[in-house]
Amino acid sequence: MSCEKISNALIAYLDGRASSDERFVIEAHLKLCAACQERAEEFRRLWQVMSEVPAVEPSPAFDARLRQRIAEAAKPKFWGWMLPAPRFAVSVALLVALSIWVGGRRPRSVNLQNMAANSEEQFRMIKDLGVLENYDVLSNFDALSDLPASTQPAQDQQQKRPSDSPGSGSGA
């Protein structure tokens, strides 16, 4: 047995209420464990001191006085058991008030036009989500600055010019 279990069974052992099997186990443990043996000795000394103190007998009128005081004590009224504790009553009142307040609130009016506009705006944002996700990468991408300028816009302008002024006489 562990010292904790012996400590719990030690009082029954010292009082003589322990069974013979328990007594055998406790005595075997006390022979091996000095700490439990010291604890048992402290209990024996305590009981020896307590046995030397004279027992105090109550006065003969003690019982009568006690019964009289019990009879004179205020008896609760019939409905007294239904009165709740103050904390409980306050918390129930607050709960009822909160329920009434939350239940009495009117729902906000729903504006369908605003909801439609918001949903269209959200759809546009979702449609451009791929670009938005890569915006930081593209804006900080140094390799784009190394690329030569695109020649396509210049070619488009040259093709438009001759058609704009066919007889202008400013040719090369």
pLDDT tens readout for residues 38-96? 999 998 998 889 888 888 888 888 888 988 888 887 776 666 666 667 787 888 899 99
DSSP structure class, residue 57: P
- Say if pTM beats, i.e. exceeds, 0.85: no
pLDDT tens readout for residues 95-145? 999 998 888 877 666 566 667 677 777 666 666 666 666 666 666 666 656
Inform me whether the pLDDT recorded for 33 exceeds 60.
yes
pLDDT tens readout for residues 131-141? 666 666 666 66
